[in-house]
Structure 1
Amino acid sequence: MWPQIDKKKGNWFPAGLDSQNLHGLQGYKVFISIAIILGDGLYNFVKILYKTLDALYKTYKSRELPVVKQDGLPALSYDEEERRTQVFLKDRIPIWIPFGGYLGLGVVSILLVCLLIFHPLKWYYMLIILIFAPILGFCNAYGCGLTDWSLATTYGKLAIFIIGAWAGSAHGGVLAGLAACGVMLNIVSTASDLMQDFKTGYLTLSSPKSMLVSQAIGTAMGCVISPCVFYFFLKANKDLGAPGSAYPAPYALVYRNIAILGVEGFSSLPKHCLIFCYAFFAGAILVNIIRDLVGKKWSKWIPVPMAMAIPFYLGGYFTLDMCLGSLILFIWQQINKAKADTYTSAVASGMICGDGIWSLPSALLSLFGVQAPFCIRVP
């Protein structure tokens, strides 16, 4: 598509624009990608919301908790399930802890985030977010438990549009929308993550209090470690976040332009870009519908729109790692499917962990000017 659209230079968009100018070819790349992401997110949001409401209705009618069965795991016997329930409820967390913690952190967020850090995000914007976030957090946690799909990013995009349009471009709507997205995304995402951890505690006969304390310790460590890692990256990579660099941070560009779109509207888009956006938005929904209709046997051969969106403008090299990993898994399954299915998660976790841990030494080496002798990349 890009060579064909580039031929319209001087007609659809001005010639001589910078390669990263959103009024040129880059605008088509970014906003078409955003349309795919929004279409995919909206479809899955509606689908999971329907499943959540349907499960809640059935639970209300039957007065029994829904049982979510996991493929490949044997069903628990009554005695085993009863024992897990007794152990899990023995150290029940007092109700004042979540309520008091949420109110306390809400006040701290308003004081620090709104008054000291992000001034365009007014305190009443934050108050509205804090009021509605628990409702959305419940929906996300319940839906994630039923479908194993967290829609935290979709709720974050919703906050971008609402708060960004409310603030307006004259009052820092882009920054306000992005800050609101960060707050909403973290609250909603933490809700589903914490419920998954509680489920792990239930299955391993662990105390919910110990799970909560572990979460608090991990969060406190992250508050110190994450800024330090980011500082090293920032010092070692002066072009951090720039397209084409070693660390392009693709989602940063996507979310920023979603905020711009929410604040400025569609008038700033290049010619015919909105038509393309409509088409790809509808295409993402159509692909998801087809994936659900054909069943698991054939849906694995149909690409996921969300996974296509980022490489859509970032480039092919972003997908080579996934392609290579999928090829290795495919060959492994052909040789020994039982072992492949058993150890896939462990191998993938090790690769992700190793890649993440190496990023810190790599940043430290870059601070001292140490560069790799060569780098292979496919543009």
Structure 2
Amino acid sequence: RRTEYFLRDQIPMGVALAGYVAVAAVSVGVVPKIFPQLKWYYILAVYGMAPVLAFCNAYGMGLTDWSLATTYGKLGIFVFGAWAGASHGGVIAGLAACGVMMTIVATAADLMQDFKTGYLTLASPRSMFISQVIGTAMGCVIGPCVFWLFYRAFDNVGLSGSDYPAPYAVVYRNMAIFGVQGFSSLPKHCLTLCCVVFAAAVVINLARDLAPEKVSRFIPVPMAMAIPFYLGSYFAIDMCVGSAILFVWEKVDKAGADMFARSVASGLICGEGIWSMPQSVLALAKVQPPICMKFLSRSTNARVDA
């Protein structure tokens, strides 16, 4: 009965196809105006490839709850960056194609997850789809406004060493350069180092899987070790402090920690992210903090006191 109820209010195939064609037509006409390096036939090729990749991503996300949209986006970087070539702005073309590809694939997976939730809760798929369209339309307005707020509030946004370094932007740009120029664009010994680190990650994972539990708990997780290399040291410090708090909490009240640790951690992470908005507003208004804290070395502190 649940399946019958859910399929009774399904979206007609003709509407879905017409909507996809309409969005593709808008993208073909608008995106090349924003990124001239991304020709209209590149966009057409992206929309031709996207349904197959979107199906694979949605199916995989339904099984694992893990979206691989970024992986398909990287595929777009290499394919369209190499297609355009270095002399025709292949780096920009690859990155722009990656953005289009990721948007299509990720949206499809998210919508399928929403439909899955609707199926379990007996919600109308049409209502969920309309809500998704409304949310997407709001994002088209809110997203650029948030970017403008950060861009105007912080002079060095996106630069390495700033409060908002955008580490993934550097990673994707380097991948685009690599896709256009090949192995010659890599620094010396970079490929060798990548192979060594990859082999080390495989060995460490095997050691964790094969070692007894008493030993494996002390073997680090390669994925967790890799995150600070992408996001920077500040993330590692936050996670280290959080892990220390969790360790003490488990010693004091293990039952409470097992029950509420994930909720508390999620709240702390969300709170830190939400604070960035008022921080941007204060910076945009040129508000100076009443108190500043700085940590100095012993020798520097001695010179300051003198």
TM, length-normalised to structure 1: 0.70
Counterpart selection for 1:235 from 152, 156, 178: 152
Taking the aligned partners of 1:299 and 1:137, their CA distance within structure 2 comes to 37
Name the aligned partner's letter for residue 141 of structure 2.
V
Is 1:274 the counterpart of 2:191 in the alignment? Answer: yes
Are the counterparts in 2 of residues 88 and 208 from structure 1 also a CA contact under 8 Å? yes
Classify 1:330/1:137 alpha carbon distance in 2 versus 1 (closer, same or farther; 3 Å).
Answer: farther
Aligned residue number for residue 163 of structure 2: 246
Taking the aligned partners of 1:104 and 1:300, their CA distance within structure 2 comes to 53
Is 1:95 the counterpart of 2:13 in the alignment? Answer: yes
Aligned residue number for residue 312 of structure 1: 229
Equivalent residue of 2:159, what SS?
coil
Aligned residue number for residue 103 of structure 2: 186
Name the aligned partner's letter for residue 97 of structure 1.
V
Counterpart selection for 2:72 from 135, 150, 155: 155
RMSD: 2.7
Q: Which runs of 5+ in 1 are unaligned?
A: 1-81
CA deviation map 1:285-305 (0-9, x unaligned): 554555566699987765454
Taking the aligned partners of 1:303 and 1:150, their CA distance within structure 2 comes to 24
Taking the aligned partners of 2:226 and 2:153, their CA distance within structure 1 comes to 29
Is 1:203 the counterpart of 2:120 in the alignment? Answer: yes
CA deviation map 1:269-313 (0-9, x unaligned): 332222112222343455455556669998776545444334226
Taking the aligned partners of 1:201 and 1:339, their CA distance within structure 2 comes to 32
| Structure with more of its chain in helix, by fraction | 2
Are the counterparts in 2 of residues 241 and 247 from structure 1 also a CA contact under 8 Å? yes
Aligned residue number for residue 127 of structure 1: 44
Q: Give 1:158 deviation, angstroms.
A: 1.1
Taking the aligned partners of 1:342 and 1:223, their CA distance within structure 2 comes to 38
Larger mean CA deviation between 349-358 and 129-138 belongs to 349-358
CA deviation map 1:33-57 (0-9, x unaligned): xxxxxxxxxxxxxxxxxxxxxxxxx
Equivalent residue of 1:232, what SS?
helix
Q: Give 1:183 deviation, angstroms.
A: 0.8
Is 1:112 the counterpart of 2:8 in the alignment? Answer: no
Classify 1:368/1:163 alpha carbon distance in 2 versus 1 (closer, same or farther; 3 Å).
Answer: same
Larger mean CA deviation between 173-182 and 265-274 belongs to 265-274
Number of equivalences: 295
Q: Give 1:192 deviation, angstroms.
A: 1.6
Aligned residue number for residue 300 of structure 2: none
Q: Give 1:215 deviation, angstroms.
A: 1.0
CA deviation map 1:216-275 (0-9, x unaligned): 111111111111111010011110011110001100110001101111112133322221
Larger mean CA deviation between 157-166 and 306-315 belongs to 306-315
Equivalent residue of 2:37, what SS?
coil
Is 1:217 the counterpart of 2:125 in the alignment? Answer: no
Aligned residue number for residue 367 of structure 1: 284
Name the aligned partner's letter for residue 222 of structure 1.
G
Name the aligned partner's letter for residue 101 of structure 1.
G
TM, length-normalised to structure 2: 0.85
Is 1:171 the counterpart of 2:92 in the alignment? Answer: no
Taking the aligned partners of 2:245 and 2:59, their CA distance within structure 1 comes to 34
Are the counterparts in 1 of residues 153 and 280 from structure 2 also a CA contact under 8 Å? yes
Taking the aligned partners of 2:212 and 2:25, their CA distance within structure 1 comes to 47
Name the aligned partner's letter for residue 143 of structure 2.
S
Taking the aligned partners of 1:298 and 1:180, their CA distance within structure 2 comes to 45
Taking the aligned partners of 1:353 and 1:194, their CA distance within structure 2 comes to 23
Taking the aligned partners of 2:273 and 2:98, their CA distance within structure 1 comes to 25
Q: Give 1:354 deviation, angstroms.
A: 2.5
Q: Which runs of 5+ in 2 are unaligned?
A: 297-306
Classify 1:159/1:306 alpha carbon distance in 2 versus 1 (closer, same or farther; 3 Å).
Answer: farther
Classify 1:335/1:260 alpha carbon distance in 2 versus 1 (closer, same or farther; 3 Å).
Answer: same
Percent of aligned positions with the same letter in both sequences? Answer: 62
Taking the aligned partners of 1:325 and 1:138, their CA distance within structure 2 comes to 37
Classify 1:337/1:143 alpha carbon distance in 2 versus 1 (closer, same or farther; 3 Å).
Answer: farther
Classify 1:105/1:293 alpha carbon distance in 2 versus 1 (closer, same or farther; 3 Å).
Answer: farther
Taking the aligned partners of 1:377 and 1:98, their CA distance within structure 2 comes to 58
Name the aligned partner's letter for residue 181 of structure 1.
C
Are the counterparts in 2 of residues 242 and 248 from structure 1 also a CA contact under 8 Å? yes
Taking the aligned partners of 1:296 and 1:143, their CA distance within structure 2 comes to 30
Structure with the greater relative contact order (CA < 8 A, sep ≥ 6): 1 or 2?
Answer: 1
Aligned residue number for residue 51 of structure 1: none
